[in-house]
Chains A and B, each alone.
Chain A
Amino acid sequence: MNGDARLPMACQRVDEDLASLALGTLAGRERARVLEHLKGCVRCAAEVESLSRAGDALLALAPESEPPVGFELRLMERLREETRPSIEPRSRRRAVLAVAAVLIATLGFGAEALVHAATTSPSSSANPRPLSARLTANGKVLGEVFLTNGSPSWLSMTVDEGSVGGRVRCQVVLTSGGVKTVGTYLLTTGYGAWSMRVDAPANQVRVARLVNSHGVVVARATLPA
């Protein structure tokens, strides 16, 4: 049952398995054997590549099914647990926003990790747990701020109290006293969640704050040192 007789012997020996490899269903020793061959064979490697794309195209026909009730909430819960084990949600709205922030922070890690992988500096992502702080105005809690470790770090902010509105700038104040604006957002109904890259190491970020269009600081969060 070998493939095309015009192929070199080595290729004939793996040819039947190339489709399974392309579809992800080849495992164990067979898979290792085929992968070994692909290292040295441009023809078979190209064949697997195009068979993969054909298989991927078929996925457009994949079956659909309604997930079990609560799927979405459990997904959010899982995202939350992954990065930050102890949040006590005060309300559902708040919970969703806090979750969104963690989810956003997770995104940040992903990008960061990939950048590290690409630039071969694997050492600096040691502690992926974000710092967090309450975002407050006049003693009232408006939301939360999360800051990932590392450089650059990622800042996520949620506002869920409803009293701040309009266009706001998000700024960070560094230990050096310097101020950086990291994003501008529209708080339509006083609710929002964003994530932004901070071009400074996390341990140099002292304060995150929101500034309104008149330049007035409307909310601030002091991050733990």
Chain B
Amino acid sequence: MDYHGAWSEEVSDEALMAGVAVGDERAVLVFVRRYQRRLFGLALGIVGDPGHAEDIAQEAFIRILRHASVYDARRASVSTWCLTITRNLAIDALRLRRAVPTAPDDPLFANLCAMRAAPDDAVLARDGVAVALSALAELPDEQRRAVTLSALYGRTAAEVAALESIPLGTAKSRIRLGLSKLRQSVLPIEAT
């Protein structure tokens, strides 16, 4: 148990997590700085309100830091683990609040739906981004919109139906079919 405080921007997520798990103060700060834009951005995309999104992102950080010692690298990458925690918190927080479904208003949503404006190199180089992007590109437009609304913006099938002006059953089918197809591209063959 000897840490020399050499945490930097370059250290891997996994090493950083190990530092966080043993309570290294600098690792915690590097970790928070590395992930705050992503956790806040995800929460904001789901709940739509910056103040509410901040609460959720903070709660997510608190949980992540609290459970860092049980993070299991075999199950998920650090980023996936953190984003999943944030997404679930955001969806739970919203469950009782949103009366009228709203479409995401960030430009990324439109870009993803239209499959244009490739992310910058730094984002593209990130683990899993290229794979997820090409998997999404293979879906028919309407399934891509439905899956994106649900998976990245936390919209329920009923909300997708309202936003897309389609019957609920159709929305469910698009999400279901889209995600199944996507699974074939993003998961290793033996896992499906």
Chain A interface residues (CB < 8 Å from chain B)? 1, 3, 15-20, 22-27, 50-51, 53-68, 71-72, 74-75, 78-79, 82, 97, 100, 103-104, 106-111, 114, 156, 183-186, 188, 192-196
Beyond the given pairs A64-B37, A103-B25, A107-B20, 9 more chain A to chain B contacts, judged by CB atoms under 8 angstroms and listed by A's residue number, are A23-B151, A24-B88, A56-B80, A59-B84, A60-B131, A66-B40, A110-B70, A184-B2, A196-B1
Interface of A is mostly: helix
Q: How far, in Å, is A98 (CB) from chain B's closest CB?
A: 11
Q: In terms of DSSP, what is the predominant structure of the interface of chain B?
A: helix
How far does the alpha carbon of A92 sit from the alpha carbon of B38 in the complex, in Å?
A: 27
B24 within 8 A of A: yes
> Are B106 and A188 interface neighbours, CB within 8 A?
no
A22 CA to B178 CA, complexed, in Å: 13
Residue numbers in B under 8 Å from A68 (CB-CB): 50-51, 54
- State which of A58, A97, A106, A183 has its C-beta within 8 Å of the C-beta of B25: A97
Residues of A within 8 A of B129 (CB): 60-61
The reply to whether B179 and A16 contact each other, CB–CB distance below 8 Å, is no
User: How many residues of chain B are within 8 Å of chain A by beta carbon?
Assistant: 85
Contacting pair B169 A72 (CB below 8 A):
no
A114 and B2 contacting across the interface, CB-CB below 8 Å: no
**A59 with B176, Cβ < 8 A, contacts A100-B28, A110-B67 known:** no
Contact check: which of B28, B69, B192 meets A103 at CB < 8 Å? B28
Contact in complex: B42, A62 (CB < 8 Å): yes
Shortest beta-carbon distance from A212 to chain B in Å: 16
Contact flags B67-85 to A (C-beta < 8 A → 1, else 0): 1111000001001100110
Residues of B within 8 A of A183 (CB): 1
**Does B54 lie within 8 Å of A71, measured CB to CB?**
yes
Residues in A neighbouring B157, C-beta threshold 8 A:
17, 20, 25-26
The reply to whether A57 and B106 contact each other, CB–CB distance below 8 Å, is: no
**Are B154 and A107 in contact, CB atoms less than 8 angstroms apart?**
no
Are A63 and B175 in contact, with the CB atoms below 8 A?
no
Is B1 touching A65 in the complex (CB atoms < 8 A)? no
Q: Are A72 and B32 in contact (CB under 8 A)?
A: yes
